Amino acid sequence: MRISHSSYSKYLDSIKEELIGEKFNSALLFNSKTLVIPFMEKPKEVLIIDLNSKQPLLFKAKSDMFFSSFENKFINKYRKLIGKATLVDLDLAKDDLLIHLTLESLEALKVYKLIVQLIPNNPNLFLLDEKDKLIAHYFSSKNKTFEIGGKFEIEKNTNFVEGEQELNNELITKILDEEKEVRSKDKYGPFLKYINNKIKAVKKRIKAIVNDVNIASKNLIFKEIADEILSTEINLKLHKDVFEFNGEKYSLDSSKTLLENANYFYHKTKKAKETISRSQINIENAKKEEQEYEEILAEFNQGNEKQKDDIVQTYFNFKKKKEVKKTNQNRPWKVNLNGTIVYFGRNASQNDYLSFVMKIDREFTWLHIKDKSGAHLVIANKKPTENELLTACELALLCSRCTSGEITYTKKKNVRRGHVLGEALVKNYSNVKLNNIRKETSNILEKAVRCD
Quick one: CA torsion of 84, 88, 90, 91, rounded to 10 degrees?
A: -140
Torsion sign over Cα 103, 108, 109, 110: negative
Residues 6+ away with beta carbon under 8 Å from 393 = 367, 407, 409, 432, 434
Tens-place pLDDT, residues 236-278: 999 999 999 999 999 999 999 999 999 999 999 999 999 999 8
Encode pLDDT of 334-381 as tens digits: 999 989 999 999 888 899 999 999 989 999 999 999 888 889 999 999
pLDDT of residue 318: 44
**166, 155 Cβ separation under 8 angstroms:** no
Classify burial at 23, counting beta carbons within 10 Å of its beta carbon; exposed 0-12, middle 13-18, buried 19 or more. middle
Cα–Cα dist 224/233, whole Å: 16
Question: How many whole angstroms separate alpha carbon 101 and alpha carbon 108?
Answer: 17
Each residue's pLDDT tens digit, 155-195: 766 566 677 888 888 888 888 888 888 888 888 998 999 99
Phi then psi dihedrals of residue 378, to 5 deg: -135, 125
% of the chain at pLDDT higher than 90 = 58
The DSSP bridge partners found for residue 140 are none
Q: Are 444 and 435 in contact (CB under 8 A)?
A: no
pTM, 2 dp: 0.56
Per-residue pLDDT averaged across 26-30, rounded?
91
Q: Do the Cβ atoms of 389 and 379 come closer than 8 Å? A: yes
Q: Other CB atoms closer than 10 Å to residue 116's CB: what's the count?
A: 22
Q: Taking residues 205-218, what's their average pLDDT?
A: 93
Judge whether 268 and 246 are in contact, CB under 8 Å: no
CATH second-level architecture of 5-167? Roll (2.30)
Q: For the range 416-420, what are the long-range contacts, defined as Cβ-Cβ under 8 Å and sequence gap of 24 or more?
A: 416/356, 417/352, 417/355, 417/356, 420/348
Range 198-226 average pLDDT: 93
**CA gap 287, 202 in Å, rounded:** 8
Question: What is the residue extent of each domain of the chain?
Answer: 5-167, 187-319, 333-450
